[in-house]
Amino acid sequence: MPLLACILPVLTFLCQPVLGAVETCVGNQAHRFFGFLTNWAGGLFARCWENPAEEVPESASEVVGAEETLSVIRSHLNDDSVGIIGIYGMGGVGKTTILQRINNEFFESGRQGSFDLVIWVTVSQTVSIPKIQKQIADRLGLSLSCSSTEEDARVLFKALSDKRFLVLLDDIWRAIDLQVEIGIPRPVRRRRNSKIIFTTRLSQVCDDMGAKSIKVKPLDEVASWELFSSKLRTKEVILNNRIRPLAEKVADKCGGLPLALITVGRAMANREDIQDWEDAVNALDHRPERLEGMDDQVLRCLKFSYDYLKNDNMRSALLFCAMYPEDEKIFTVELIRYWIGEGLVDDENDGGEGSMNDARRAGQALVNKLLDACLLESSWSSIFGAEVKMHDAVRDMALWNNKVDGFLTCHSIIRREDREHIKRIFLWGSDLEEYARFNPDVILSCSSNRTLLLQSVRGLPPPILQGIASSMKSTLRVLNLSSSDTWGELPAEVGLMVDLRFLDLSSTEITSLPKELGNLVKLRQLILRYTLVLEQIPQEAIAGLRSLQVLDMYGTAYDWEADPRGGVDGGRQLELGDLEAGLPRLEELNIQLGTPRALERFLNSVKLCSRTRDLRLGMPHRSQSKDPPLYGKGGSLLWTVFSRTGRSLKWLELNGDNAHPWEGELRISLDQLPLLEDLYLDSFRSERMPEVVLVGSNFNPRLSTFNMSNCDGQKVLKLVGAFPCLREIHLYRCRIMEELALDEGVAAGIAEGTQNDAGLLDRHFPMLREIVLVELPALKSIGRPPLRLPELRSIKVLACPELRRIPLDPAGVPKLETIEAEQKWWDTVECAGSGGHDTKPVFENRLRPAIWSVGDG
């Protein structure tokens, strides 16, 4: 039956022209029969394709020698007498990898016979019940009230009670009452078809939770050597009669632990000198001070891999990652910019005098080396791109090594006498006035600190910043105060931190910068993004920063057309010309321009145009009828923007000019914007601008996100041509928009509804994953023939009452997982497949209740 269910819809689809001809001959009876056949096949097809699991990236500890354990787990999954399975064993033995393999087997097979839903949950040593509940709710498509964990547990219990579920919980350190504390129903009586599997280092946890225990044993000698030798990049080690016995000793000292075998194997991968192997044997004999909760054999091997990193900068970069919370995914872009600030990636070669692009490439190379050493693991976020994380055993080793390159975090306990060794501090979401462990005195006593990350921290008045600047003036290199309650004028003492290389004040309430900021002659990156009340910037504060390579002023309130003599003390304010003349090393500029005069001055600078990466045009609340049009007569300035900045822009936001509404079609061609990744249109409210046309390009592989909001004059949005990397289309609050045309320009002259027409969109939107439609009260159409979007995962619809038809066919959206919408809208909408057949039954079980409210977005 599953094979038939997969084949029949395809045959039905391919035979549409024949079926149509037969219908013409034999009339309504045939029509009803073929409609029944298509819907029946579509239902089977949906069940065949719907995947109960989401893929989980597997860790570096490959599944080697674990088939016996996997076989036992599979047998328990088919045994109704076993409801909870506990996998236990020492850190690094491969428990998480086995659990990942179980999850991914369901994902790869797509089989739904056993379970309706497979849910992956990361627990970690510091148990957070709300975090666990949120992971489950997200998988169910639910929004939790967060009023109390007890109430959220009742919501989850109700949602899971009518499903056959498999919940996989990784890294439990204490017994948890899963039903009472979290809301996961116990797999008993009528719910025996559901299962729970968890991993833990402690067998007692299995006993306390009433689980069927499975111990993951270390690999035997043969499997250990197989895994270890597979990491060696040269056959010399295996063939050399003098080195081979030493290599086998090294493998033996890894104790059969996959993580240890892999990391040590990678550390020795290119070693061909016999002395290196003798040193490795001796090093692995050394027993470091035991870390509580961690097997000393694991610690010894991981410490060996750490010590064998090429240099101190690599070791320091790895320890930097250990500051992040356990199991936290770290955005690679963020990590590299901190490393550049500390001087870990390019100072050793050029003293920080190289280009920012070269520094980022060196940073990515360092990330790759740590991934290659299996001391970091890679993952990917659709929003933030590449990410990395640390295996918890590697993080344990790094925390044990904290005394070497000390850091302070929210969970650290550091004695006063050890504070002089602290090199990094990372606090997030804390209140310094209430959090006694990290009152300002603790921070100020770490006088050797070189990185201070105070993100979303409350209790940061100017006097504390003055103390930080004074106490760390000769050591601090990286300072991040983003989203903290820093307000008013940034204190002049900031100019004392003469070694500062990275300063982030984004999303703070800083109103002015001191001219002493210009003393930071080593500053390479200055981030002022979304400083919404920053109005005063003396010329001396920025124009003298001779090392500055990145200046991010996107979304600031600073008015480039204000009186340049209007400073607090009468001094001259920063002008666009100062950026061109006073920043000799400027490579990247992110900027907001709100007047035509400022835009014209900007466009007259070849340097500023060629270095701008993120550009935001428009401050609608300042637009007045007496002002000239923001985009120039007939949009001439906008066309000049495309021609002069198009080869450098990565992010572009265009805001409407309310005082001078745009007239005629707005047509944007991506051929002029080959590097553009994100495009935003906001507040174009002119009814004399009937449509927006976005023209794709096979030569533009970059555009990933298109967002259009608060545009009240356009009836049609057309996407014409190819968009090879477009992943998301978001439309919000466009009052009279009637049509989102995804099928424009696909193939001129092909009749609607034919097989060719239905199949062409694969090439034009091959990566589109999400369509979001919110508050579009006039929207009637999102395409005529069925959508052919091979990667589409989600459609979200809210407050679109006139959208009565969605052209969906199972063959065209094979990966569609959720339709997020209001039930009352779904009850009235029609889903039309190939030939106009009703496909709504196929998609019924993909519906999820809308989890945002009107006005979101």
Question: Residue 1: pLDDT above 70?
Answer: no
Instruction: Give the residue with greater pLDDT, 16 vs 638.
Output: 638
Q: What is the pLDDT of residue 290?
A: 54
The Cα–Cα gap between 288 and 627 comes to 72
C-alpha span between 258 and 441 (Å, rounded) = 44
Amino acid at 810: P
The pLDDT, as a whole number, for residue 20 is 42
What does the domain layout of the chain look like in residue ranges?
Answer: 2-49, 67-215, 221-302, 312-403, 661-857
Q: What is the DSSP string of 480-545?
A: E-TTS--EEEPPGGGGG-TT--EEE-TTSEEEE--GGGGG-TT--EEE-TT-TT--B-BHHHHTT-
Q: What is the pLDDT of residues 744-767, one digit of tens each?
A: 644 433 333 334 444 445 568 999
Report pLDDT digits (tens) over 348-367: 556 668 899 999 999 999 99
pLDDT digits (tens, 9 = 90+) for 530-580: 999 999 999 999 998 999 999 999 999 898 987 776 655 668 999 999 999
Tokens of 673: 């914007």
For 332, which DSSP code?
H
Q: What pLDDT, on the 0 to 100 scale, is given for residue 495? A: 95
φ and ψ at residue 204, rounded to 5 degrees:
-60, -35
The CATH number assigned to the domain with range 312-403 reads 1.10.10
Q: Are 505 and 530 in contact (CB under 8 A)?
A: no
Which residues are registered as beta bridge partners of 730?
707, 772
Q: Is the pLDDT of residue 855 over 60?
A: no
Q: Over the chain, what is the mean pLDDT? A: 84
* The domains spanning 67-215 and 312-403 adopt the same CATH topology: no
Q: Would you state the pLDDT for residue 18?
A: 43
pLDDT in tens, 446-463: 888 999 999 998 878 888
Asked if pLDDT for residue 854 goes beyond 60, the answer is no
Is 267's pLDDT higher than 90? yes
Is the separation of the CB atoms in 536 and 563 below 8 Å? Answer: no
Tell me the pTM: 0.84
Considering the chain, what percentage of its residues have pLDDT values greater than 90? 52
Q: In Å, how far are 62, 161, 236 from 391, measured between CA atoms? A: 13, 33, 31
pLDDT score for 111: 55
Helix axes 95-109, 67-77, angle to 10 degrees: 60
370 vs 378: CA distance, rounded Å: 10
Q: In the 8-state DSSP scheme, what is residue 838?
A: B
**Helix ranges, 162-311 (H):** 203-208, 221-230, 236-239, 243-252, 258-267, 274-285, 296-307
Question: Quick check: 507 and 529 in contact, CB under 8 A?
Answer: yes
- Summarize pLDDT for 218-254 with one digit per residue, the tens: 999 999 999 999 998 877 778 888 999 999 999 999 9
Q: Which class in CATH covers the domain with range 67-215?
A: alpha beta
Higher pLDDT, 62 or 253: 253
Query: Of the ranges 29-38, 108-117, 201-210, which is most confident?
Result: 201-210
d(CA 376, CA 172): 21
Instruction: Quick: pLDDT tens for 767-800.
Output: 999 999 999 999 999 987 888 899 999 999 999 9
What 352-358 contacts at long range (C-beta under 8 Å, 24+ apart), as own/partner pairs, is: 352/501, 352/522, 352/524, 352/547, 355/549, 355/587, 356/524, 356/525, 356/549, 356/550, 356/587, 356/588, 357/587
Span 297-346, pLDDT tens digits: 888 899 999 999 989 999 999 999 999 988 888 999 999 999 999 999 87
